[in-house]
Chains A and B, each alone.
Chain A
Amino acid sequence: MELFTNQVLAGIATGAIYACMALAVVMIYQAIDHLNFAQGEMAMFSTFVSWQLMQWGVPYWGAFLLTLIFSFLGGIAIERLLFKPLAKAPILTNVAGFIALYAIINSFAGLIWDFTIKQYPTPFGSSPFLGSQLISTHQAGMIGVTLLLLIALYFFFQFTRMGLAMRAAASVPESARLVGINTSWMIALGWGMAAAIGSIAGMLIAPVVFLEPNMMLGVLLYGFAAAVLGGLTSPLGAVVGGFLMGIFENLVGTYIPGVGNELKLPIALALIVTVLVIKPAGLFGRPIVKRV
């Protein structure tokens, strides 16, 4: 029983990483209706920027804030420069654009900061949390920040005009334009917010996994999967999905004999596909009704 609780707790700790990333994924999906492959790389780049600022002497929270602003503006800039021209192009071409962006950012990060791992500080410290040896204070902090972000996003979308405008622009663009919403800028705003959230995710994840250009590879995949599991239209779903993935993966690795360990990821993904087959919109997603 102890092993079980240990693995569940450890799974929650890793799941926090996935949940963070999944939130950013859902954010971009809300804005543009697609998954952005380059999300992880943008988060990684932002984290490197913050690291560089700290190397130059800027204190942690200062670097944090500056990076947030940089990411927000950067996200908007990327959208305006690279993806607005592709707005009329087919979706698949846009996806190709995401892939191109991924390659560019990854390459530049490797060139500027090389591939050796870097230690990244955490504002929460690394001691055991509440005496538990499985969750450190940092991981608890990560979970806390994720939940805070979640609540903030919820409030933003449900109770602010801007949030409402964004939701309108994403789901019914023509009608939104008719009531005077500038849908084009809503998309840019969505990118900016997604980039900012991604940067927070990156800065929370880096202390655990160590900062290096390829650090987001695995995380992005899990983040996607968690977001889809929870429902791409629901930030709460993304967070729950993230934790579930972490726990499930751990339990599969521990309890399924023989192949469980080597096939952790495929089995976890198979689970998600199964969930999707039963509930196509994900656990918390709103079902999409097609009217003819």
Chain B
Amino acid sequence: MRSRQTLLIATFSATVIALAATIGSALAQKKYDTGATDTEIKIGNIMPYSGPASAYGVIGKTEATYFNKINAEGGIKGRKINFVSYDDGYSPPKAVEQARKLVESDEVLLLFNPLGTPSNSAIQKYLNAKKVPQLFVATGATKWNDPKDFPWTMGWQPSYQSEARIYAKYLMKEKPDAKIAVLYQNDDFGKDYLKGLRDGLGAKASMIVAEESYETSEPTIDNHIVKLKATGADVFLSITTPKFAAQAIKKLAEIEWRPLHIVSNVSASVGGVIKPAGFENAQGILSATYAKDGADPQWDNDPGMRKFFAFLEKYYPEGNKLDGSVVYGYGAAQTMVKVLEMCGDNLTRENVMKQAASLKDFTPDTLLPGVKINTSAADFAPISQLQMMRFKGEKWELFGDIISGELSH
């Protein structure tokens, strides 16, 4: 009788223990999708390291170096980041090839910060069909904030349209009788911006008296400036990339045209644009920004920027702190690391997107004080705040409040 009882108790206990163990391990179970293991997280990336947009390739380099730093510090919960970055030469067919390679051959967990609107447009449908996260794309095109139709695609930087709207709001308030002349690059960047300006002005879109487009194949945009001056405008909006923004600043000074000059954030870098164009020519220029400028001495003692400078010194000495792209890469990579940390041991693609859509007041080292990253299931635009700034002396002076450029859908 006793042995049978013992047996019963033993079996019962064993069952309970087994049950507990199973439940327990189910709760603590690690979940992985392709690209994530106990020791490694594989991240894919596509950048234009060659071709006309090769100036942006340094973003990929910065990100790779940042991930090296994270790995040197132990990785994310012990997992090393394996950053696989391919060149697409800013060509959409090549981007498709590289994206497929990353997903099907390299078997990455997700695609992080692929650059360029055409390239991202080309791979968006594929990635969403394959349910691979297309996270923090490196382009300001407005269309990446569309969780309903493309639940696997998310932007990062403030969209071009939201930035343009901020300028529109400013002009309507400060210079309601202004005559606006616009110089814009004839591609997705320029056209998206222009749309934002027009939409932002709304009924007062007639404030725009001239719109000049230019191609990146033109050696100089000087003759466009001459043409715009002849329109008698008193506000000049420069929707240009760094080289052409600098040319514009210089030419404006040369022909002694002094409108209110607004330059897009893309070309607001002190080291990359203003300094070559000449500080004396850039006085009074307006822009808006969401990140700190590495060339601006006012951030020399800022704790976040000090971490950035330390990173450069230790891991990336050839990185140029004056290059806005380097600052950008650092901030984006830091956001990626945060999301991966938030995933914990559940490294499925679905969870990655879920965590990316749950960022609350996250502040990477390089964002302006007051600008925070916020996402939600309906808001796939992590950064949507900007602050306006005016160039004085040798640096930008922030003014006004942090404005949200939120676009209501």
Query: What residues make up the interface of A, taking CB atoms closer than 8 Å to B?
Result: 2-3, 6-7, 10-11, 13-14, 17, 107, 110, 114-119, 126, 128, 133-134, 136, 205, 208-210, 212-215, 217-219, 221-222, 249-250, 253-254, 261-262, 264-265
| Docked-complex contact B223 and A7, CB < 8 angstroms | yes
Known: A117-B243, A254-B227, A261-B212. A14 touches B254 (CB 8 A): no
CA distance A261 to B57 in the complex (A): 30
- Residue on B with the closest CB to A17? B219
Q: Indicate whether B405 reaches chain A with its CB closer than 8 angstroms.
A: no
B285 to chain A minimum Cβ distance, whole angstroms, is 17
CA distance A14 to B224 in the complex (A): 11
Contacts of B256 in A (CB 8 A): 128, 133
Of the candidate stretches B92-100, B113-121, B197-205, B267-275, the one touching chain A is B267-275
CA distance A14 to B226 in the complex (A): 12
Of the candidates B216, B247, B277, B323, which one forms a contact with A116 in the assembled complex, judged by CB atoms under 8 Å apart?
Answer: B323
| Docked-complex contact A115 and B276, CB < 8 angstroms | no
| Docked-complex contact B247 and A115, CB < 8 angstroms | no
CA distance A72 to B256 in the complex (A): 39
- Residue on A with the closest CB to B215? A265
Contacts of A217 in B (CB 8 A): 52, 217
- Residue on B with the closest CB to A128? B254
Q: Indicate whether B322 reaches chain A with its CB closer than 8 angstroms.
A: yes
Within 8 A of A (CB), among B47-98: 50, 52, 54-55, 57-58
- Residue on B with the closest CB to A261? B213
Q: Indicate whether B149 reaches chain A with its CB closer than 8 angstroms.
A: no
Cβ-closest 4 pairs across A and B: A115-B55, A119-B276, A218-B219, A133-B255
B274 to chain A minimum Cβ distance, whole angstroms, is 11
Q: Indicate whether B374 reaches chain A with its CB closer than 8 angstroms.
A: no
B328 to chain A minimum Cβ distance, whole angstroms, is 13
- Give the interface centre of A2, A13, A17, A114 by most chain B CB atoms within 10 Å: A114
| Docked-complex contact A11 and B223, CB < 8 angstroms | yes
A242 to chain B minimum Cβ distance, whole angstroms, is 12
Q: Indicate whether B331 reaches chain A with its CB closer than 8 angstroms.
A: no
| Docked-complex contact A208 and B227, CB < 8 angstroms | no
A142 to chain B minimum Cβ distance, whole angstroms, is 12
CA distance A2 to B52 in the complex (A): 36
Q: Indicate whether B347 reaches chain A with its CB closer than 8 angstroms.
A: no
Contacts of A6 in B (CB 8 A): 226, 230
Q: Is the interface of A mostly helix, strand, loop or mixed?
A: helix
Contacts of B275 in A (CB 8 A): 119
- Size of the chain B interface, CB-CB below 8 angstroms: 39
Known: A126-B254, A210-B276, A219-B219. A117 touches B246 (CB 8 A): yes
- Residue on A with the closest CB to B56? A115
16 contacts between A and B (CB under 8 A): A14-B219, A110-B54, A115-B55, A116-B320, A117-B243, A117-B272, A119-B275, A133-B255, A136-B254, A210-B246, A212-B55, A215-B243, A222-B219, A253-B223, A262-B213, A265-B218
CA distance A142 to B50 in the complex (A): 31
CA distance A261 to B184 in the complex (A): 12
Q: Indicate whether B37 reaches chain A with its CB closer than 8 angstroms.
A: no
Of the candidates A3, A7, A17, A119, which one forms a contact with B220 in the assembled complex, judged by CB atoms under 8 Å apart?
Answer: A17
| Docked-complex contact A214 and B217, CB < 8 angstroms | no
CA distance A13 to B402 in the complex (A): 43
CA distance A2 to B232 in the complex (A): 14
Known: A110-B54, A133-B255. A209 touches B217 (CB 8 A): no
Contacts of A107 in B (CB 8 A): 50
CA distance A128 to B256 in the complex (A): 9
- Residue on B with the closest CB to A133? B255
Q: Indicate whether B133 reaches chain A with its CB closer than 8 angstroms.
A: no
Known: A209-B219, A217-B217. A115 touches B226 (CB 8 A): no
Contacts of B227 in A (CB 8 A): 3, 7, 253-254
Contacts of B212 in A (CB 8 A): 261
Of the candidates B58, B255, B278, which one forms a contact with A115 in the assembled complex, judged by CB atoms under 8 Å apart?
Answer: B58
Known: A17-B220, A116-B272. A212 touches B243 (CB 8 A): yes
CA distance A6 to B223 in the complex (A): 9
| Docked-complex contact B219 and A10, CB < 8 angstroms | no
CA distance A7 to B323 in the complex (A): 35
Known: A208-B222, A218-B218. A117 touches B254 (CB 8 A): no
| Docked-complex contact A14 and B222, CB < 8 angstroms | yes
CA distance A13 to B255 in the complex (A): 13
CA distance A228 to B242 in the complex (A): 32
B213 to chain A minimum Cβ distance, whole angstroms, is 6
Q: Indicate whether B34 reaches chain A with its CB closer than 8 angstroms.
A: no
Contacts of A10 in B (CB 8 A): 222-223, 226
CA distance A214 to B50 in the complex (A): 10
| Docked-complex contact B55 and A218, CB < 8 angstroms | no
- Give the interface centre of A13, A210, A212, A253 by most chain B CB atoms within 10 Å: A210
- Residue on B with the closest CB to A18? B219
A32 to chain B minimum Cβ distance, whole angstroms, is 25
Contacts of B128 in A (CB 8 A): none
